[in-house]
Amino acid sequence: MIDHTFLRWLRILGLVEGVSTLFLFFVAMPLKYGADMPMAVSIAGSIHGGLFILLVAMFVMGRERVPLSTRLTLGGIFGAIVPFGPFVTEVWLGRLAREGCEASRDAEPR
């Protein structure tokens, strides 16, 4: 049985972490180098780092809680490292969520 609540939070966190990467690259870094505002990277980088660690931890916990396959767990962790990776992982997690809903509907007595 899939833990849909945990899976939903994992998907949300993945998207937030992915957006934080984009913010770091396209807002904070240009501010640091173009407007001489290094504090932008310090703040955005710290937030992004915390979200990254939380996302990796959630994937490790999701291995048992959802449960996630080893392949999806490792893909999610690797996706957290690679820019735009969380958005690719979101597609895989969304597919798992849909398949889980369909499987649970099929298992209901009629």
Q: What average pLDDT does this structure show over 34-56?
A: 97
* Domain count of the fold of the chain: 1
**What is the spatial distance between Cα 46 and Cα 27, in angstroms, rounded to a whole number?**
14
How many alpha carbons fall within 13 Å on the CB side of residue 101? 9
> What is the residue range of 93's domain?
4-107
Per-residue pLDDT of 49-85, as tens digits, reads: 999 999 999 999 999 999 999 999 999 999 999 989 9
